[in-house]
Amino acid sequence: MNPETHLKTKVLIVGKGVSGLILCYLLEKKGIECILLNKEVNTSATILAETIPPSTLSLLKNIDLLTLFEECASKTYGYQSIWNNIFHSEDFFKHNPFKYGLKLNKRKVISELEKKVKSRIINYNLLKNITSTTTSVQLNNTKYNIDSELIIDATGRNRVILNFFKVPIISYDNNIAFICYLPKTKESLKYGFFTETYESGWGTVSDLNETTRIMTLYSSKNDALHKKLKTFSNWCEILTNTKILKKHLPTGNFKVTGRLANSSIPQNIVGDNWLSIGDAAMAFDPISSHGISNAIFCSLKASESINDLITKNDGTSFNKYQETINAVFNEYYNVKEKLYA
């Protein structure tokens, strides 16, 4: 075993997704030092081509990240859908000031954000321990002990720090996404994105690049079709009654991977010396297309709250952050319930 490395920082951010990296970037701008810890997990490799709505572009502009995001995305001008046999076409031309949204290459966004931040990034494969002052992790034979005043959970739905502190998670459904990369069929997509309900939930088809589309079918873990959705050869039968989705199924056999897609929130979003952001703080149903927007928003609010605690010694700042996140989640959930109804 190599000698242990001892490091010290004000803020330790665990998780190097969009939320963790943007928080690091915003804290650096305020002169607050950070270290980022990350563990590669199998979900890190999935490319989803997430869509950002026009309303989020102003937020990106305010934090000087619009250009970076635009350089890692293609523009999108709307989407079409069929909900219970009714066709809808939503275009973004009526939105202001941005008349387009972005379809992200999230991997590229993460690598560009990594270049932008100056803080040390440490990859690990084993979380050994967390105390109120020190976090210990290991990478192969090297052990790191990191002293920090604050620790941030930015590990997405894995919620590693929250789980370590045994914070209960409130889940509102058992939504699962089954994802499959497919070669493009001749069927064209006006806006490169289409959604349609099917017997057990809803599905999307989305252009990824010149040759590939990604199809995702959402259903509940408790649904009778749950097991069948894991195998692509069943999809043709499952989508028989759809108008559009079935037309995007090529012949052949393709790999299907499952991802959690439920709506959930921890009972506590903050503690005395920890705070959660992004999906770790509140996870949205992907139908909202607001997961990335949420990650950006949480990072912005968390950076203000951390700054108030560190520079103004404002002991209420974490509670204010928690109230804001709870209010956003409640609003999201009410809209979602109406939509599903």
Ligand X SMILES: Cc1cc2nc3c(=O)[nH]c(=O)nc-3n(C[C@H](O)[C@H](O)[C@H](O)COP(=O)(O)OP(=O)(O)OC[C@H]3O[C@@H](n4cnc5c(N)ncnc54)[C@H](O)[C@@H]3O)c2cc1C
Binding site for ligand X (CB under 6 A): 14-20, 37-41, 44, 48, 50-52, 154-156, 158, 160, 177, 179, 216, 259, 261, 278-279, 286, 289-293, 295
Shorter beta-carbon distance to ligand X: residue 11 or 261: 261
Alpha carbon distances (Å) from 301 to 272, 314, 325, 328: 17, 14, 9, 12
Alpha carbon distances (Å) from 57 to 75, 99, 189, 190, 200: 11, 10, 24, 22, 33
Residue corresponding to tokens 């920890």: 274
Q: Are 99 and 55 in contact (CB under 8 A)?
A: no
The enclosing H or E element of 35 equals strand 34-38
Q: How far is the CB of 266 from ligand X (least distance, A)?
A: 13
Shorter beta-carbon distance to ligand X: residue 54 or 278: 278
Query: Can you spell out the DSSP letters for 63-98?
Result: TT-HHHHHHTEEEE-EEEEEETTEEEEEEGGGSSS-
Shorter beta-carbon distance to ligand X: residue 17 or 192: 17
Shorter beta-carbon distance to ligand X: residue 127 or 225: 127
Shorter beta-carbon distance to ligand X: residue 82 or 298: 298
Q: How far is the CB of 315 from ligand X (least distance, A)?
A: 26
Q: How far is the CB of 169 from ligand X (least distance, A)?
A: 14
Which of 118, 139, 110, 98 minimizes the C-alpha distance to 34?
A: 118
Q: How far is the CB of 203 from ligand X (least distance, A)?
A: 11
Q: How far is the CB of 272 from ligand X (least distance, A)?
A: 21
Q: How far is the CB of 157 from ligand X (least distance, A)?
A: 6
Shorter beta-carbon distance to ligand X: residue 48 or 180: 48
